[in-house]
Amino acid sequence: DGGITQSPKYLFRKEGQNVTLSCEQNLNHDAMYWYRQDPGQGLRLIYYSQIVNDFQKGDIAEGYSVSREKKESFPLTVTSAQKNPTAFYLCASSNRDFSYNEQFFGPGTRLTVL
């Protein structure tokens, strides 16, 4: 099945630790995205990548880092500099075949920092 996988579904970390969230897609999509969602809120864009080895900051990039070494993978690192990292993190991808505005989302990772 084609799709986007995020792992793990739930993640717990101690304050001050960096943590990396995984996102893999087998849709052959060029563009990939990371969003953050807080309870009762909409999604906010953290980073996005339009092509391998290139990425741009979204609206709330501070305290996060990404890499895009392979087309299929776009891992997100939540660093200790992120002041309030507990949230629901969503990865998405899109391609010109449908429209870059038709983004396919993964199931999300719920990160809790204790």
Partner 1 sequence: DAKTTQPPSMDCAEGRAANLPCNHSTISGNEYVYWYRQIHSQGPQYIIHGLKNNETNEMASLIITEDRKSSTLILPHATLRDTAVYYCIVRVQETSGSRLTFGEGTQLTVNP
Residues in contact with partner 1 by CB under 8 A are 4, 30-31, 33, 35, 40-45, 48-51, 56, 58, 88, 90, 92, 94, 96, 99-108, 110
Question: Least distance in Å: CB of 50 to partner 1?
Answer: 4
User: Based on CB atoms, which residue is closest to partner 1, 75 or 100?
Assistant: 100
User: Based on CB atoms, which residue is closest to partner 1, 48 or 64?
Assistant: 48
HEC assignment per residue over the chain: CCCEEEECCEEEECCCCCEEEEEEECCCCCEEEEEEECCCCCEEEEEEEEECCEEEECCCCCCEEECCCECCECCEEECCCCCCCCEEEEEEEEECCCEEEEEEECCCEEEEEC
Question: Least distance in Å: CB of 80 to partner 1?
Answer: 26
